[in-house]
Amino acid sequence: MLVYNHYSIKKKQAVSSFEKAILWGYTDYRNALNDQDLDNIRKESKFVKALVQLKQYDKLTLLQQSGGYVSANSDSLPIFTYEVASDRNLLAVKNFFNLDSIAGNGDEISKIRNIMFFVANSIKYDGSNWALCEFDAIDFYNYHKATGKGINCRHKAMTLNEMYLAMGFKSRYVTCMPKDDKDTDCHVINSVYAETLKKWLWMDPSHGTFVMDDNNNLLSIEEVREHLKNNQSLKLNAETKVSKLWYLDSHVS
């Protein structure tokens, strides 16, 4: 009886602490859902109720409740063009990094992947660091080599963007913003156009990651969003530095 009461009291204390954590601003539903340290209280009625309350903050749940992209009239905006590979600055990037060698002799998709992996593996990632250098691919690379410090996701994406443009790929870097206007975090990735597939592809040089469906088709940002919204299966490339659970269900959802 004493042993039973001891564990009963411990469970009540654990549930109470969990409730207080939510009250004080804890919002990580996915972590609570998968944290094995909470397994012994999952059947407690107050924990079940608290978990339901926590779900309202879940990024994936919020995404699944959201609508599609909203189209906007762009007639009044300046005509957008991509810098050509013959640009003097892009030629300097191509020659500095020897991008022909990095890209390799394979098909278009393998070149896109190889260049992304180079940025992922050759320049350390540090999401909290703002590089104190000129904002271009060569200077970001030299900054890392000179200081040993990593660069953040925006600077990584800017670096990859210049390399893609230098190799003749249409490319842009895209800031992924949270729906919660109180959440100041964001993540920056690349969207590069593959002529052979006639589509844009999601490339993330911070984590060495791209996203695929069950048939190994590489996906665009919009396609990843739709798959997440519709609870369709997704997977990451084998070379990625992160887990699918953290990356898709929390970090970018």
How sure is the predictor about 98, in pLDDT bands with cuts at 50, 70 and 90? Answer: very high
Q: How far apart are CA 206 and CA 195, in angstroms?
A: 24
The conformational region for residue 24 under phi > 0 = left, psi -120 to 50 = alpha, else beta, is alpha
Position 60 scores a pLDDT of 80
Vertex 129 angle, CA 123 and 133, to 5°: 70
CB 172 within 8 A of CB 160: no
Is the pTM for the entire model greater than 0.85? no
Position 77 scores a pLDDT of 82
Fold of 88-251: C8orf32 fold (3.10.620)
Residue 246 tokens, joined: 């953290």
CB 237 within 8 A of CB 201: no
Q: Is the pLDDT of residue 1 over 70?
A: no
Position 232 scores a pLDDT of 92
Find the mean pLDDT for residues 108-115: 99
What are the pLDDT digits (tens) for 171-183? 999 998 777 666 6
Q: How far apart are CA 18 and CA 161, in angstroms?
A: 43
Residues above pLDDT 70, as percent of the chain: 93
What percent helix, strand, coil does the chain show, rounded to 5? 50, 10, 40
- Of residues 210 and 80, more confidence is placed in 210
Q: How far apart are CA 229 and CA 62, in angstroms?
A: 9
- Of residues 147 and 251, more confidence is placed in 147
Q: Is the pLDDT of residue 29 over 80?
A: yes
Q: Is the pLDDT of residue 27 over 80?
A: yes
> For the chain, what are the domain ranges?
2-57, 88-251
- Of residues 249 and 97, more confidence is placed in 97
Q: Is the pLDDT of residue 188 over 90?
A: yes
